[in-house]
Structure 1
């Protein structure tokens, strides 16, 4: 397992006054450091150590998100009233409900031009 294939992020922590390194596949892990690059190096090392421990104990190791296959399908439940409002908005914009929701969740909702119509 190449631990560099995991999804890492480094953010400034106002509370800690340091950079915090995070890994999406291991949400319980973090690494604080005064230097941004060192926070990234620290979280990568920590993940490497945790993966080695998991391998040694026979635990399942999370698959990197970068290697997962996604279908592109999302199942969503909502209230009948929201469903009706979305269907009405889609009809008014001359697009399918699927296209409207896609535009809304990607931040391109609003007028017809923003919906790609």
Structure 2
């Protein structure tokens, strides 16, 4: 399932209740949804995001946006040097190299997790 209005979510299945439970990722506000079937998940997800945005508009507050795209990273000086060397060997900026390396790792880690978005 694709992100909706810039928001993505994670989903788990409760075997006892026979329900899918979802939660929007990347914001401090809590947006959840549930569905009985996988086919109902996109609508439940969209409805919850729409309800959140409507609530923010009625309350006069700005909705939280998931992730700005700016990330601060702390590393040891040795790791910093090794990453810079690896980036240079690949004719890439350190930022470009880190984005690709972290993206590859995130894809590996998320490969076995059911995600929406």
Shorter-chain TM-score range: 0.5 to 0.7
3-state SS of paired residue (1:106): helix
Contact kept, 8 Å, 2:14 with 2:21, in 1: the verdict is no
Contact kept, 8 Å, 1:6 with 1:25, in 2: the verdict is no
Unaligned runs of 5+ in 1: 109-117
1:87 is aligned to 2:88: no
1:101 is aligned to 2:102: no
3-state SS of paired residue (1:13): strand
Contact kept, 8 Å, 1:10 with 1:39, in 2: the verdict is no
3-state SS of paired residue (1:5): coil
| 2:20 paired residue number | 19
Contact kept, 8 Å, 1:21 with 1:30, in 2: the verdict is yes
| 1:113 paired residue number | none
Whole-Å separation in 2 of the counterparts to 1:31 and 1:73? 28
Which one has more relative contact order, counting CA pairs under 8 Å at least 6 apart?
A: 2
| 2:47 paired residue number | 45
CA distances 1:62-109 after superposition (whole Å, capped 9, x unpaired): 35x6xx9x7x76553321121122234446x4534525434422329x
- Work out which of the two has the higher radius of gyration on C-alpha atoms and give 1 or 2: 1
Instruction: Please report the TM-score for the alignment, with normalisation by the length of structure 2.
Output: 0.55
Whole-Å separation in 1 of the counterparts to 2:81 and 2:70? 21
Q: How does 1:57-96 map to 2 (within 5 A)?
A: 57-63=59-65, 74-90=71-87, 93=89, 95-96=91-92
Instruction: Report the aligned-residue RMSD.
Output: 3.6
- How many residue pairs get aligned? The number is 99
Instruction: Please report the TM-score for the alignment, with normalisation by the length of structure 1.
Output: 0.55
